[in-house]
Each structure stands twice: as C-alpha cells, then as structure tokens.
C-alpha cells in the first residue's frame, strides 16, 4: 500500500490533494514548472521536483518526467487532479506499467469515456438516453460533419472528441457557419488536447447542466453523492456550481432516478474511483447523458459540503484497495452549498484574462466558508495556465442562507494586483433570476449583463464620486509636495534622477 503520492498538477487542486494526503499521513511529492517555483503546491509538499519550462507541454504534460519523479522519489502512486494528464488513458497505463498506482479509474474506463463519441455509444447501448448527435461515428471529416448537421438540426454544438471544459466547442446556428466554426473548434482542440477530432451534438434549448458525483471501489460498490447544478456557464466554462440543484429541488424521485442512471453508466465501463456523469435536463425533466468526466471535478467541494464525504480522501482510499466507507443509504444531502470560481479575468472588460503579481489578498473566512486557493500575496499569476485562482465555497442550512453567506463573502474577498470576476459573482447573487433558481445554460450569455441595474437597487453614485475625488485630490497634493520640495532645493532634481539610475 503506497505511502507517498506524486501530485501531477498545480494550482488550487494540487494544494487540495496535498492537504488530503497530509491528513491521511501520506508523504507528498509536488512537481513544478519554472513559473511555479514559488507556488503553494511546492511550498506545501514534502518534496518538490522541477519538470521544465513554463508551458504545459514542457512541464505538466510531461507524463514521462512525472513518472520518473515518482520512481526517483520512491512514491507509490500518482494523483493527476483535473486537466493536464487526468484523462489520458495512455498516461494512466504508463503509471501502471511503471508499477505505480494511478489514483483514478482504469485506463480502459478512461479510454471508453474519454472519446466522447465512444462514450455516448457505450452508455446508449446500456439503455441510457443520450443527446442526438454523431456519436459512435468515429472520426469524421469536415465534409461528413457538414452533411450530417442538417439531420441533427440547428442549433447544434461542435464538440472536441477529447474535450472538456468548453475547449474546442462551438455553437452553430446555420449550415453556412459550419466550415469556419469547424476550423476554429479543431484548432482549439488541437492546441488544448493535441487532438483535433470533433463531433456534433444537438443543442438542447433551455437546458440545465446537472451532474452526478460517482464513487466506486474495486470491490464492486458504486454509489452516487447526489447532484450538482452547473448551468451557470460562459463560453461553456462553468462559473458557479451548487448542490443540490434548485431545479431538482424536492423532487426526490427524479434525483434517485438520475442517480441510478448515473451509477449504471459508471458500471457500463466497470468504473472505479471518483467520476462524474453529466446530464442535460430539459424543461420537462427529460434528461440525457452528456459525458462522463473520469476524474475529480473542479466543483467537487459543493458535494463535500452537503454530504460530508471527503471525495479526495475517498479517492486515495479506493486506490489503496479499500472499500468505500459509505453505502448509498448513508448519503444524505444536508443543507445547501454554492461554489463561485474566482478567475483572474476582468468582468468589465469582456472577461479578458488578467495576469500579474498578487500584491494583496484578504480572504473571507468564518462559519460555513471554505476557500480552495492556489495563490497568495506575492505570487505571480502567469498567462501559462488557466485563469482559476481560487474557489469560494459556502454552506448554508438553506439555499437562501447560502446565498446571503456568499454575498457577504464576496464583499469581503479582496484581491489586488490582478482583476478578478468577483464583481460578476456579486452581480449574479443579486439577480432575481438566480435567487429564484430560474436559469439555464444560456443565462449568463444571453440574459445577464454586468451593466444592467437590478430593480430596487440604488447605485451609490455619489459615494463613487466622493471616493474618486478624494483619490484624485490626494494624488494632486502628493505631486504638489514633490514640487514644493524641489523648489526649496533645485539642485536635488538631478541627483534624484541619478539616484534612480543607481537603483536600477
């Protein structure tokens, strides 16, 4: 049974996994790129080894080097986190070949679910409904896809076969758009996954994105930990998740039915360890299998908060060959949890990424608040990796309490040095549609605006005016003081600039 784990990732998820290992008394090994020497995961691990330059291809995607680190350090297992190598069957296999435990599913299950088209075929064969699309057609050329598109009907989605996280995904509303968007989607898929294959899928309108967390051990137990509502997305990137889903709500029968289907989907590929079954749910509560993520999800904490299950620790126990510590009947959803993804991007400037050194940070704390963060004051947010710098998760006895708690936490959360999307989340918390639980996957892009003013909310315009004037006044005064000083002793100026030269 392994006693040392290599965490083959970075950022908040690497820190999350390191903490779980440490709390289980397991030794930890971090790997890092040149951009991450000072990163938290390097600081918190027992050991840390450099992989290479900043770009992922030369560092966090170098499975060979990571396995070498594991062997060199005497580790017995590798946890891939999410992204990077997490859903690469060849990497999982290489770990096993090197005699290392892979903390995740078997390579065969990753392969079966990793090719989205094969996955849809597999679960479809097991009697599970899927969204109509080109599943099971294998790799298709552009001309085939253009030919098949009208049969599926518009609007439809182009999706990367190897995809995830909205990368390589495009929405198509007419046949004319197809060629250009196919090109863009393949380009992004190739850049992100090294695989430009794409497939088509019907776009279910007014749909909710609801997913079920699965846990499975090597002794044949498969359970689900209830659902997560992930409909709040922008450019197919999730921004906010909650558990339970306000759409499923009190419909315990729907929850159990979807949960059973999720378990069956996992069983169809003899799934082991933690995984997630994603469904699209239409307004009539019809649900369709979308895909399975054969790894830990970014949004796993909301499930942890309402079930009390530490998913990462459970992953490690399963990988050690233990039985699950819970049976399905132990799982109860207690209260309500919401997660806001805090991204280094500017919501007032088209959500463009923001990079730079974090000069200051004040995190919200107190009862019912959890922050999973990978950054700290002094750390440089680089353009090499994704924009997620922290996750703010709150728990409340009810959804209303959770929303109020999230509001106060967002207001408390201060980050200086980079812009973040915290104001976006604040705006969302104030929106009546969000409060009412009335939103679908298109809500953020189509019905939400950073500029719109909610009814009944008066903007403190006068306070903004006073604040800006006080800041401007201070700047003017400071400038004036420098001039005054200069007047007293005019010879200073040349020496000041000389001094500045010395400082360089």
Give the contacts of 314 (CB within 8 A, at least 6 positions apart): 215, 274, 324, 325
Cβ pair 427, 450 in contact under 8 A = yes
Q: Which of another protein, a copy of itself, none binds 187 (CB below 5-8 Å, type-dependent)?
A: another protein
Is the Cβ of residue 210 or residue 340 nearer to another protein in the bound state?
Answer: 340
Tell me how far apart the alpha carbons of residues 231 and 181 are, in angstroms, rounded to a whole number. Answer: 23
- Yes or no: say if 85 and 61 are a contact pair by the CB < 8 Å rule: yes
For residue 411, which phi and psi values (nearest 5 degrees)? Answer: -65, -35
Q: Which is nearer to another protein, 64 or 97 (CB)?
A: 64
463: contact with another protein by CB under 8 A: yes
365 binds another protein (CB under 8 A): no
Contact letters for another protein, residues 420-439 (x by CB under 8 A): --xx--xx--x---------
Report the C-alpha gap between 41 and 155 in whole angstroms. Answer: 42
DSSP string, 116-144: HHHHHHHHHHTT--B-SBSTTS-S--HHH
Interaction of residue 353 with another protein, rule CB under 8 A: yes
Q: Contact region for another protein (CB under 8 A) — 7-15, 57-65, 133-141, 377-385?
A: 377-385
Provide the minimum distance between the beta carbon of 336 and a copy of itself in the complex, in angstroms, as a whole number: 13
> Where do we find the tokens 């290392």?
100
Map residue 39 onto helix, strand or coil: coil
Q: Give me the least distance between CB of 3 and a copy of itself, in Å please.
A: 15
Angle CA(229)–CA(269)–CA(110) in degrees, nearest 5? 75
Q: Of these, 256, 323, 334, 359, which contacts another protein (CB under 8 A)?
A: 359
Which residue, 40 or 100, is less far from a copy of itself as judged by CB? 40
Q: Binding of another protein at residue 167 (CB under 8 A)?
A: yes
Q: State which residue, 310 or 380, has the beta carbon closest to another protein.
A: 380
Nearest partner of 442 among 284, 165, 212, 232, judged by Cα: 232
310 part of the interface to another protein, by CB under 8 A: no
- Give dist(CA 364, CA 392) in Å, integer: 8
Residues that bind a copy of itself (CB under 8 A): 15-16, 19-20, 22-25, 44, 301, 304, 308, 310, 334, 360, 362-363, 365-373, 376-378, 396-397, 401, 404-405, 407-408, 412, 485, 489, 492, 495-496, 498-499, 502
366 binds, among a copy of itself, another protein, none (CB under 5 to 8 A by kind): a copy of itself
Residue 295 annotated to the active site: yes
Q: Residue 493 touches which of a copy of itself, another protein, none (CB < 5 to 8 A by kind)?
A: none
Scanning 115-123, 304-312, 332-340, 356-364 for contacts with another protein by CB under 8 A, the matching segment is 356-364
Sign of torsion over alpha carbons 196, 131, 164, 106? negative
Q: What is each CA distance from 173 to 154, 426, 446, in whole angstroms?
A: 5, 32, 15
Considering only 327, 398, 476, 481, the residue that binds another protein (CB under 8 A) is 476
User: Using CB atoms within 10 A of its CB, is residue 68 exposed (0-12), middle (13-18) or buried (19+)?
Assistant: middle
Q: Whole-number minimum distance, CB 17 to a copy of itself, in Å?
A: 10
Selection from a copy of itself, another protein, none that 310 binds (CB < 5 to 8 A by kind) is: a copy of itself
Q: Which two tokens stand for residue 464?
A: 């903004």
Contacts for 10 with CB less than 8 Å, ≥ 6 apart:
32, 33, 36, 39, 41, 60, 374, 385
Closer Cβ to a copy of itself, 181 or 381, answer by number: 381
Asked if 448 interacts with another protein (CB under 8 A), we say: no
Name the active-site residue from 295, 341, 399, 405.
295
Say how far apart CA 124 and CA 127 lie, in whole Å. Answer: 5
> Which residue's structure tokens are 């699950």?
324
Strand residue runs (E) in 161-207: 170-172, 198-202
Give dist(CA 398, CA 65) in Å, integer. Answer: 47
CA angle, residues 108, 30, 84, in degrees to nearest 5? 40
Work out whether 502 is an interface residue with another protein (CB under 8 A): no
Task: State yes or no: residue 71 binds another protein (CB under 8 A).
Answer: no
Please identify, among the stretches 132-140, 221-229, 249-257, 341-349, the one whose residues bind another protein according to the rule CB under 8 A: 341-349
Which among another protein, a copy of itself, none contacts residue 401 (Cβ within 5 to 8 A by kind)? a copy of itself
DSSP 8-state symbol, 167: B
30 binding partner (options a copy of itself, another protein, none; Cβ < 5 to 8 Å by kind): another protein
Q: Work out whether 45 is an interface residue with another protein (CB under 8 A).
A: yes
CA distance 4 to 23: 13
**Binds 45: which of another protein, a copy of itself, none (CB < 5-8 Å by kind):** another protein
From the list 1, 23, 37, 285, which residue makes contact with another protein (rule: CB under 8 A)? 37
| Unique residue bearing structure tokens 């279910």 | 204
Only one residue has tokens 């109860």, namely 332
Phi, psi of 19 (to 5 degrees): -65, -45
Binding string, 185-204, against another protein, x = CB under 8 A?
--xx--xx------------
- Contact between 57 and another protein per CB under 8 A: no
Catalytic residues: 295
* Binding positions for another protein, rule: CB under 8 A: 29-30, 37-38, 42-49, 72-73, 167, 187-188, 191-192, 235, 237, 344-345, 348-349, 352-355, 359-360, 362, 376-378, 382-387, 410-411, 414, 416, 422-423, 426-427, 430, 450, 459-473, 476
């Amino acid at each position: 049974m392994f006693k040392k784990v290599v965490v083959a990732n970075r950022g908040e998820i690497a820190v999350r996994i390191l903490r779980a290992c440490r709390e289980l008394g397991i030794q930890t090994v971090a790997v890092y790129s040149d951009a991450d020497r000072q990163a938290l995961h390097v600081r918190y691990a027992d050991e840390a080894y450099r992989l290479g330059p900043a770009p992922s291809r030369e560092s966090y995607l170098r499975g060979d080097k990571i396995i070498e680190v594991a062997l060199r350090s005497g580790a017995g297992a590798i946890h891939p986190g999410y992204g990077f190598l997490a859903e690469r069957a060849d990497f999982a296999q290489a770990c096993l070949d090197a005699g290392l435990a892979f903390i995740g599913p078997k390579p065969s299950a990753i392969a079966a679910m990793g090719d989205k088209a094969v996955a849809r075929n597999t679960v479809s064969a097991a009697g599970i409904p899927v969204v109509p699309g080109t599943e099971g057609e294998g790799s298709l050329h552009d001309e085939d896809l253009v030919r098949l598109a009208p049969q599926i009907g518009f609007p439809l989605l182009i999706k990367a076969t190897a995809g995830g996280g909205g990368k390589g995904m495009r929405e198509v509303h007419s046949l004319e758009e197809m060629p250009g968007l196919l090109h863009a989607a393949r380009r992004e898929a190739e850049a992100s996954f090294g695989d430009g294959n794409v497939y088509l899928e019907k776009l279910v309108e007014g749909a909710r994105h609801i997913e079920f967390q699965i846990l499975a051990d090597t002794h044949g137990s498969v359970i689900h930990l209830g659902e997560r509502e992930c409909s709040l997305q922008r450019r197919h990137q999730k921004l906010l998740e909650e558990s339970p889903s306000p759409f499923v709500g009190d419909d315990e029968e729907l929850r159990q039915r979807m949960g059973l289907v999720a378990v069956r989907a996992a069983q169809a590929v003899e799934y082991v360890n933690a995984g997630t079954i994603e469904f699209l749910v239409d307004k009539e509560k019809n649900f369709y299998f979308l895909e399975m993520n054969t790894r830990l999800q970014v949004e796993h904490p909301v499930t942890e908060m309402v079930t009390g299950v530490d998913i990462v620790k459970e992953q490690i126990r399963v990988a050690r060959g233990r039985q699950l510590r819970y049976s399905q009947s132990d799982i109860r959803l207690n209260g309500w949890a919401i997660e806001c993804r805090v991204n280094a991007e500017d919501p007032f400037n088209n959500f463009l990424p923001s990079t730079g050194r974090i000069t200051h940070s004040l995190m919200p704390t107190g009862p019912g608040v959890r922050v999973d963060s990978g950054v700290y004051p002094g750390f440089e947010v680089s353009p090499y990796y994704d924009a997620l710098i922290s996750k703010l998760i709150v728990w409340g006895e009810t959804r209303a309490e959770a929303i109020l708690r999230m509001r106060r936490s967002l207001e408390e959360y201060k980050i200086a040095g980079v812009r973040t999307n915290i104001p976006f989340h604040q705006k969302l918390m104030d929106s009546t549609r969000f409060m009412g639980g009335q939103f679908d996957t298109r809500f953020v892009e189509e019905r939400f605006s950073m500029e719109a003013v909610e009814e009944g909310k008066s903007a403190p315009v006068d306070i903004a005016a006073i604040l800006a004037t006080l800041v401007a006044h201070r700047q003017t005064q400071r400038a004036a003081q420098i001039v005054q000083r200069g007047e007293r002793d005019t010879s200073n100026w040349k020496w000041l600039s000389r001094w500045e030269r010395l400082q360089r």
